[in-house]
Amino acid sequence: MNRLGRCLTPVYLTIVVLLIAFPILYAYVGAFRPAAALSGGLQGLLPTSFTLHNFGRALSRAPLFLQLGNSAIVTVAQTVLQLLTSVFAAYALTFGKLRFAKIIFGVFLVSMMIPGETTIIANYLTIRSIGLYDTLVAVFLPFGASAVTIFLLRQSFASFPAEIHEAAVLDGVGPMTFLWKFLLPLSRPTIAAAVITSAIAAWNGYLWPLLITDSPDKRTVQAGISQMADSVGPDIGALLAGSTLVSIPMIILVIIGQSALTRGLTEGASK
């Protein structure tokens, strides 16, 4: 790389970081600024005074604590379901000696290329027909399986040493014992990455929870935040405060699992 390139690279990366970080900084700083200051444009973000009143107004406009609990339930249930279905599917594709394993795996890959919006009507009609509309089960049930998670785990399982598998079979180790005592412990980074990505997707779900729930006490927090603007009128400070509260759990999760996420995604993509 020439000298000009070495000089421009930090400038380019700085611009990209600012573009990504500015909305986040705006939300976090604006959450603590008085509502009157936020109506004056970007200069209202200058740290001249701070207040916690925005958080009080956000909590009074929507049952955020209840909806945070709903989001936690949905996130845990959806993540556990995705992990279980993906583990068994990846195991079957790798060690099940299926006749059409490559074709089935190809179907999973093709489904990753189809936008989720194309299946939302079918899912909606199915949920309505079985009487689960406006329930928490309806929020996570259609996402109990994930092609992305199956892909990650299948790639990790495919790299497992064949000699260990053959030795375990010769010693009389059953499929479930091999899965839980050999395969999963050696695939911990990929499992951790799958859990984190699934949890983030479940927590950040917006369109489907908004469509399939109607009662405020059944909504997840992402859908609840969007309804705050329609309750009494736009309140930028309250919306920013609510958005700040919503983002904290996933930020903590990513910080804690950052190394496992990076390692797991790298291993899954390279094997």
- 87-136 pLDDT, tens digit per residue, is 999 999 988 878 888 888 888 888 888 888 888 999 999 999 999 999 99
Question: pLDDT for 202-229, tens place per residue?
Answer: 999 888 999 999 888 888 988 888 777 6
Question: pLDDT for 151-183, tens place per residue?
Answer: 989 988 888 887 787 888 788 778 888 888 888
Q: Are 206 and 226 in contact (CB under 8 A)?
A: yes
pLDDT at position 230: 59
Mean pLDDT for the stretch of residues 236-242: 82
Rounded CA separation 70/203 (Å): 10
pLDDT of residue 44 exceeding 70? no
Q: Dihedral of the CA atoms 32, 35, 41, 45 (nearest 10)?
A: -20
pTM: 0.83
Ramachandran angles phi, psi of 28, nearest 5°: -75, -40
Intra-chain end-to-end CA distance of the chain, in Å: 30
Find the range with the poorest average confidence among 25-39, 65-79, 115-129, 188-202.
25-39
Q: Which residue has the higher pLDDT, 269 or 46?
A: 46
User: What mean pLDDT is reported for the chain?
Assistant: 83
In whole angstroms, how far apart are CA 33 and each of 38, 79, 227, 245?
7, 36, 22, 15
pLDDT of residue 268 exceeding 60? no
pLDDT band at 139 (very low <50, low <70, confident <90, very high): very high
Mean pLDDT for the stretch of residues 3-15: 79
Alpha-carbon torsion (123, 129, 133, 139), positive or negative: negative
pLDDT of residue 269 exceeding 60? no
Q: Name, of 48-62, 74-88, 114-128, the range with top average pLDDT.
A: 74-88
Going by C-alpha positions, the residue among 108, 107, 120 that lies closest to residue 209 is 120
Mean pLDDT for the stretch of residues 44-54: 72
Mean pLDDT for the stretch of residues 61-74: 89
CATH, domain 73-223+248-270, list 1.20.1250.20, 2.40.50.140, 3.40.50.2030, 1.10.3720.10: 1.10.3720.10
Alpha-carbon torsion (19, 23, 26, 28), positive or negative: negative
pLDDT at position 137: 93
Q: Are 225 and 243 in contact (CB under 8 A)?
A: yes
> For the chain, which residues make up each domain, given as ranges?
73-223+248-270
Question: pLDDT for 87-98, tens place per residue?
Answer: 999 999 988 878
pLDDT of residue 231 exceeding 90? no
Rounded CA separation 182/159 (Å): 13
Rounded CA separation 69/63 (Å): 10
Q: Are 219 and 227 in contact (CB under 8 A)?
A: yes
